[in-house]
Amino acid sequence: MTTVGFIGSGNLGITVARLAIEAGHQVVLSNSRGPETLADTAAELGPQASAATSREAAAAGDLIVVTVPVKAFPNLPAAALAGKTVIDTCNYGVERDGHILELDGTSLTSSELLLRYLPGATLVKAFNNIFFKHLLSLARPAGAPDRSYLPIAGDSAAAKAAATEFLDSIGYGVVDAGPLADSWRQEAGTPVWGTPYGPYSNELGQPVGADAIRAALATARR
Could you report the per-residue pLDDT of 183-211, keeping only the tens digit for each?
999 999 999 999 999 999 999 999 999 99
Q: Give the pLDDT mean for 83-112.
A: 94
- Phi and psi of 20, rounded to 5°? -60, -45
pLDDT of residue 105: 86
The 10 Å Cβ neighbour count of residue 92 is 21
CA proximity to 37, closest of 48, 29, 45, 25: 29
**pTM given for the model:** 0.96
Q: With a cut of 90, say whether residue 106 has pLDDT above it.
A: no
Q: What is the pLDDT of residues 34-56, one digit of tens each?
A: 999 999 999 999 999 999 999 99
Q: With a cut of 90, say whether residue 222 has pLDDT above it.
A: no
- What CA–CA distances, in Å, run from 82 to 79, 122, 182, 210? 5, 8, 23, 32
Sign of CA dihedral 213, 131, 205, 124: positive
Q: Give the pLDDT mean for 17-22.
A: 98
The 10 Å Cβ neighbour count of residue 199 is 12
Q: With a cut of 80, say whether residue 1 has pLDDT above it.
A: no
**Proportion of the chain above pLDDT 70, given as a percent:** 100
Chain centroid to Cα 86, Å, comes to 9
pLDDT of residue 83: 97
Compute the half-sphere exposure of residue 82: CA atoms within 13 Å on the CB side of its CA: 5
Sorted by where each begins, the domain ranges of the chain are 3-218
Q: What is the CA radius of gyration of the chain?
A: 16
Q: Give the pLDDT mean for 148-159.
A: 98
The CATH code of domain 3-218 reads 3.40.50.720
Asked if residues 4 and 64 have their Cβ atoms less than 8 Å apart, the reply is: yes
Coil vs helix vs strand at 62: coil
* Rounded Cα–Cα distance for residues 37 and 54 (Å): 13
Secondary structure in 3-state letters for 134-160 = HHHHCCCCCCCCCCCEEEEEECCHHHH
Q: What is the pLDDT of residues 129-149, one digit of tens each?
A: 999 999 999 999 999 999 999
pLDDT of residue 112: 97
